[in-house]
Structure 1
Amino acid sequence: MTGQPARTARAFSTCHASVPLACFAGVIVISMFAIQPVYVAISLAGALAFSLLARGLSPTLRGLRWQLPMIALICLLNPLFSASGSTLVLKLGPLSVYAESLAYGAVMGALMVAVVVWFEDAAAVLTQDRLLSLSPRRARSVPVVVSIAAQLVPQLLERSRTVRSTSDACTAAGPRPSGKDALINTSTLLLDWSLEDSLERSDAMRARGWESGRERTCYRVERFGSSDAFKLTLLVLLVCVNALLAWVACSQWHFYPTMPQLVMWWGYLPFAALAFVPMASELLARATERRLS
């Protein structure tokens, strides 16, 4: 299992990034709010099916090593916090364990695992480049600001240690200041240092064309075409229909005090279609690749 090569997701490779974004966002949002056993089971099955195809067996099993125990843990801990229900399973002293509490814990644990796996699946398809292509031109400066902040935080901490060690080494100036005075002195020196650097950094960025008054151009790897608009429209309609059907199903389901009997309902089929769209896209992409090779 450890010798298996890492797989690359081929699903939605011919679509604009907005199409898989709408698909994964829709199924994740519905999964998070549809706390109903059938919806949770369908969501978990679709997430694991796509993970096995796109990410491979080894990464999926590595995640299940801690995800499956988490389901068991939430299932067993829920009766400790919510001792409600009507079907008594066992009684341990003052603690009463009901089947409804166990069922609710199992469903919530499975829901958490399904959402985590869906995020992992989305990360396999929506790479950083594809997400960046979705952002408007004004938002292109956000990665620059984040990268600068990521550089400045460790630099500020290093300078803080330098200021403190230098201040401790200056014994000829008298006794060491108290903790409050030392903090004020260190903060003042760091502020002066940062303001001086900010002027130099702004001059350097202005010299590279930032805020020069001209609109910055960018190269877009993906183009939004008519086929992408058609697929996106179908996905949005499917998500909206599933949101309505999930609301109907969840309004008729409750865990406490007794759980109603689950029955076959046609309303589960649209959500199953949405949850297995990524797997179908992966299989279609592989079949197309084999046919062309």
Structure 2
Amino acid sequence: MTTSSDPISRSGLIWRALVLPVGLIVLWALFDAFGMLNSNILVSPAKVIASAYEGFADGSIPGATLATLLRALTGWAIGASIGLAFGAMIGLSGIARGLFDPSIASLRQIALFAWIPLLSAWFGNGEVMKVMLISLGAFFPMALGAQAGCQNVPAPFREVGRVLELDRRATLTKIILPAAVPSILAGLELSLNIAWLGTFGAEYLIGTGYINGMGDGLGAYLAAAREYARMDQVLLGVLFLALIGIGLDRLVIGFSRRLIPWRTA
């Protein structure tokens, strides 16, 4: 009997996952070959490839990609770390839950980009504001995951701690935190997804900014491509955002599987 972790099963999943993107690329090439593409809406694959070559040759694509990655990972690290600590505190303390849970439940209903005017007023439109927006996006799912994990530890697990007469610290480290790991990892994955979306929004919607002189990132690259009606660069930027987002997601899922090997998703 094979499982999702078997090499054969993994290769099958990969091939099935490639069916849709490969099919779309083939369809795209066929439409181009028969002259059915409107260049104002969708350019040919050859033009996108040429744009990629140009972007790598002049350094604009690597620079924008590196700036976006650094911005995203910085904001994610800050927001997820604070969210983990805050969520664990609420999940472990009834007093903290009573004080903060209603407010957090209300604040998380606000769309991420609705925070932009307020954050702009506080921090301006520079790099600090962008990182704060990304951190805010990462904070809420991480806090909710940590809270759910620490708060909803199964009663039999807690009973084991009482039977073994574990003190509070031992109960936390040996019972509660291990049981909370799946929820925490789920929050970690979701926080990365939201942080990545927030990074694009911050770069696309908010003014200019530089990280060590590397430029404005892929979001600003897309905004400039739109202004100059460069559909080849628009498609290229979207492709890079998708590929990097998928790569980051798979890294976190791989990390999760190492901590909880029974995971199949």
Q: What is the TM-score when the length of structure 1 is the normalising length?
A: 0.24
By relative contact order (CA 8 Å, sep 6+), the higher-ranking structure is 1
Q: What is the TM-score when the length of structure 2 is the normalising length?
A: 0.26
Larger Rg: 1
